[in-house]
Structure 1
């Protein structure tokens, strides 16, 4: 992959999972920046603050379902309220340890959810997601 993504965001309340995902994203070498949010509220704050000089528009958001204070479903409800142009060209992937088929079905009901994956996300899986969803756009 010649062109790197600008930003991949991981939203998960588990420190070890965030460490692993950040490490795997760096190993995959497919993005210029990785941002980790241990709170869905903090991630929403970042995504709403597009005027900040530190803001980078994400290409992919990996979102955990089960988190305290605001879970992944509540995040999606609030994220949908953000200006729809901010959603364009964004891949939102639910990333979870849940084996509940109802969670997968619920994720499928959301138009903004592009994919549903089990944790942990390995660097090879991340590269495949990037290749499948961004390679044509980056090479055109």
Structure 2
């Protein structure tokens, strides 16, 4: 699938930098938006919906964040998903296996495409963008 508009929801600025560099290294052209918590990312998505200009097609979502964590983001995303006309693919990207609770992943299996454990690698980027 070809992605054009990436939303990275992660409070780790180093992770933001790594993603930018991996995309450059793999010659992947995509518009990127970065948010440090789920609340700001949801606000962004909702404002795009109001303007009928949702262009996000991929979200890389961390679980452990301040304000609104990844699980809370997913719960709220499910509520607005019905109003989104285009498909948005979500990959969970977390810093530890322990925060990726298999039961929670199962609970959101209709929303989450897959999950990865940080740090992101070229192989992960290729799996997401080039398959």
What TM-score bracket applies, with the shorter chain setting the length? 0.7 to 0.9
Matched with 1:119 is 118
Offset of residue 22 of structure 1: 2.1
Superposition TM-score, scaled by structure 1 size: 0.79
Offset of residue 92 of structure 1: 0.4
Task: After superposition, give the CA deviation of every residue in 1:7-38 in whole Å (9 maximum; x if it has no partner).
Answer: 11111001111111122123333333111111
8 Å CA contact 1:28, 1:124 repeated in 2: no
Superposition TM-score, scaled by structure 2 size: 0.83
- Unaligned 5+ runs, structure 2: none
CA distance in 2, matches of 1:23, 1:61: 17
Offset of residue 101 of structure 1: 7.4
**1:21 and 2:28 aligned:** no
Query: Structure 1 stretch 24-33 or stretch 43-52: which is displaced more?
Result: 24-33
CA distance in 1, matches of 2:38, 2:86: 20
- Unaligned 5+ runs, structure 1: 133-140
8 Å CA contact 2:94, 2:100 repeated in 1: no
For these two proteins, the number of residue pairs brought into alignment is 129
State the 4+ residue runs in structure 1 displaced beyond 2 angstroms. 25-32
Task: After superposition, give the CA deviation of every residue in 1:22-60 in whole Å (9 maximum; x if it has no partner).
Answer: 22123333333111111211110111112459x551221
8 Å CA contact 1:5, 1:30 repeated in 2: no
